[in-house]
Amino acid sequence: MAAVVLKHCWRGLLHNSGNGAVGTVGFKAFQGVRQKSTVQYISRPDLPKLAYRRVKGKSPGVVFLPGYGSNMSGPKAEALEEFCKSLGHAYLRFDYSGHGASEGVFSEGTIGTWKKDVLFMLDELAEGPQILVGSSMGGWLMLLAAIARPEKTKALVGISTAADHFVTAFKALPIEVRKECEDKGIWTIPTKSNQEGIYTVNMDFLQEAENHCILQSPIPITCPVRLIHGLKDEDVPWHISMQVAERVLSPDVDIILRRHGQHHMTEKDDIKLIVYTIDDLIDKLTTMV
């Protein structure tokens, strides 16, 4: 049975001293400026080169998977690198094809395309057991990767996990709206997640995405799973994380709902919670070894 944990504040998770310093060892990284990892590129036969940043270190490593249209340079990805450096753990972040500094055309990407990107990076650059951290669509890809590479995936941390979201959100539209979108060949989605204020998704993308939906049956994932979601998320409903928790086969699943949390989860306390969660999983996995 998944444990549901409501975290409305930081009491009981991280303690602050009188001068505001955070008492958890992992946060020592934030007290000074460290040199960031450099952007590197990895080639693939007949496929776009992928940009990545990597920090070598001990196991378990941490792999960050960004969201739809996002990249590896956001606040969460940066903070996780600092955290992993502070503990000496390996860390990998990268841009999917058509995203950020990677080659490729964004509009030509699909869930299947980006799943292949994730699996390639896991196979080629992630050494040993990994904790996968997926944000929004990255949470969907995280689950798909865990199913495909169970031997490499030792724990999962989903942030605003968007499993099946494009497909289920489209099917929830009134039939006349769906028909209009199908006639135009595109679906325009209002969002606060980019400067344009909309996402434009074509029908081919949606049809391909259906091949990767996972919420209609048990999800064959047995490693520890942590799902963090904001109750004020206007892009991806928090009940999706509840559905994931209900369907994964793992006996070790926690859901953490942030009362004031929004979709991006980039507020200071949001990032502290993400880091704390990963720190706790590292302790758990190290103890299990």
Residue 218's H or E segment, with its range, is none
Asked if residue 56 is part of any domain, the answer here is yes
Would you say residue 133 has pLDDT above 70?
yes
Predicted pLDDT at 28: 42
Q: Domain for residue 50, yes or no?
A: yes
Q: Characterize 181-217 residue by residue with b for buried, 16 or more Cβ atoms within 10 angstroms of its Cβ, and e for exposed.
A: beeeeebeeeeebeeeeebebbbebbebbeebbbbee
Q: Does residue 137 lie within any of the structural domains?
A: yes
Residue 201 lies in a domain: no
Q: How many domains does the chain have?
A: 1
pLDDT at 3: 41
Please give the pLDDT value at position 195: 74
Q: Assess if residue 168 is contained within a domain.
A: no
Strands across the sheet containing 47-55? 3-6, 253-258, 225-230, 153-159, 130-135, 58-65, 89-94, 47-55, 40-44
Cis ω for the linkage preceding 45 (within 30 of 0)? no
Q: Quote the domain boundaries for residue 243.
A: 40-163+219-288
Q: 24-35: per-residue pLDDT in tens?
A: 444 444 444 467
pLDDT confidence of residue 23: 39
Q: How confident is the model at residue 191 (pLDDT cuts 50, 70, 90)?
A: confident
Are residues 80 and 150 in contact, defined by beta-carbon separation less than 8 angstroms? no
CATH classification of the domain holding 64: 3.40.50.1820
Query: Structure pTM?
Result: 0.88
Q: Which amino acid is present at 54?
A: R
Which residue numbers are catalytic? 136, 233, 263
> Domain for residue 269, yes or no?
yes
Q: Is residue 169 part of a domain?
A: no
Q: In the structure, what pLDDT confidence band is assigned to residue 289 with cuts at 50, 70 and 90?
A: low
Q: pLDDT band at residue 15, thresholds of 50, 70 and 90?
A: very low
Residue 12 lies in a domain: no
d(C-alpha 271, C-alpha 201), whole Å: 29
